Amino acid sequence: MGYMYYDAEFTQLQRNATFISIGIKSSSGMSFYAEFNDYDHSQVNKWLLVNVISKLRYNDVDNFINKVHCNPCPYSAYSIDMKGTAEEVRIQLLDWLQHEWAADEKNQLKFFVDCYAHDWVLLIDLLTDGQTSMEMPEFIHYIPIDLCGALWARGYDPDINRVQFVGWDTDQYNTSQHNALYDAIIIQECFNRLYNETNLNTPE
């Protein structure tokens, strides 16, 4: 099964929030990272400016897409870095996800998210172009797996520092925190630790 570790940065903790950036790390090793040039600037506060927008990779670029192909890979895998409108991101993300799914068409893609309440709803809105979860692509599993619940179920504080939990350098994280792709990779590492601790098969 294809595992997608997903994180997003958005303009506010309300249902009419808009994406600032998204990051997805696939269990295949490929990744998708996008920054949005059409988020609602009227919703941006000082905290977002300091902690999220200042850490975006492409503040000096208005629009671009870069595909990096894995060579050799059994199914012509590739990663994407891009910046564009929500519609441009949606088109590229759907293509990329379908390509990742095509490597193992017997199973749907399963998403792993941290505190998924807002991230997941916004992703549904993006992928369905404003429709409902019933219109999600059939190759995506409709149930996301939440890291907070997984931590709690195994006796950990759901608010535990994720970087310390996986044993990474906290100084590095302080400069990378709230970058969506970096946080998606942290999510993957947290789940890997939980799988290892319970002697389950770790998603590769």
**Assigned domain for 21 exists:** yes
Mean pLDDT, the chain, as a whole number? 89
**Assigned domain for 202 exists:** no
**Assigned domain for 57 exists:** yes
**Assigned domain for 204 exists:** no
Cβ atoms of residues 49 and 39 within 8 Å: no
pLDDT digits 0-9 by tens, 128-174: 999 988 899 999 999 999 999 999 999 999 999 999 899 887 666 55
Q: Report the CATH number that the domain containing residue 191 is assigned in CATH.
A: 3.30.420.10
- The Cα 54–Cα 32 span in angstroms is 20
- The Cα 76–Cα 70 span in angstroms is 6
- The Cα 13–Cα 53 span in angstroms is 16
**Assigned domain for 186 exists:** yes
**Assigned domain for 104 exists:** yes
Give me the domain span that covers residue 84. Answer: 3-197
- Give the per-residue pLDDT at 14: 79
DSSP per residue, 72-127? S-TT--EEEEEEE-HHHHHHHHHHHHHHHHHTTTTS-BEEEESSHHHHHHHHHHHH
**Assigned domain for 55 exists:** yes
Q: What sign results for the dihedral spanned by CA atoms 27, 29, 32, 33?
A: positive
- The Cα 66–Cα 80 span in angstroms is 6
Question: What whole-number percentage of the chain has pLDDT above 90?
Answer: 70
- The Cα 146–Cα 72 span in angstroms is 33
pLDDT digits 0-9 by tens, 79-88: 999 999 999 9
This prediction has a pTM of 0.91
Number of domains the chain contains: 1
**Assigned domain for 116 exists:** yes
